[in-house]
Amino acid sequence: MIGTVLESTPPRRLTMTFDPPGDTHPGRPSRVTFDIEPYYEIVRLTVTHQNVATREDLEAVSAGWPAVCANLKSLLETGHVLPRAPWEMHAGLRAAQMARNDPRAAGS
């Protein structure tokens, strides 16, 4: 991923662009905001992904962010990441997205 930090308010908020390398969708890049707020004795992390270009991209990020958050939760609670990388949990969606973004595939 390629991204530019748009807003940083430690330790509460981070907003950045979210742009796969070689992506040519109009309206790109999309934008991701991570908000952290107190919630009783713990904290709440809210991930908001906006300006997603296509339905397929929406499906990919809708599957991807929960996997990434699960991996982060595991790391914070146990000191170890999950046995499978988050992007491998939804390899089919990722492969389809990468194929769409591959400029070499357009000429095939």
What are the φ/ψ torsions at residue 105 (nearest 5 degrees)?
A: -70, -25
Domain of residue 70: give its range: 5-102
Taking only the tens place, the pLDDT of each residue in 19-60 is 876 666 666 789 999 999 999 999 999 999 999 988 888 888
Look at residue 107 and tell me if it is in a domain. Answer: no
Tokens representing 76 are 């914070």
Look at residue 70 and tell me if it is in a domain. Answer: yes
Q: How many CA within 13 A on the CB side of residue 67?
A: 17
Number of domains making up the chain: 1
Look at residue 45 and tell me if it is in a domain. Answer: yes
CA 10 – CA 84 distance, rounded (Å) = 30
Q: 13 falls in which pLDDT band (50, 70, 90)?
A: very high
| pLDDT at residue number 34 | 97
Look at residue 76 and tell me if it is in a domain. Answer: yes
Look at residue 91 and tell me if it is in a domain. Answer: yes
CATH of residue 38: 3.30.530.20
Look at residue 63 and tell me if it is in a domain. Answer: yes
Look at residue 108 and tell me if it is in a domain. Answer: no
Taking only the tens place, the pLDDT of each residue in 59-104 is 888 888 988 898 899 999 999 988 877 667 666 666 776 677 766 6
| pLDDT at residue number 62 | 87
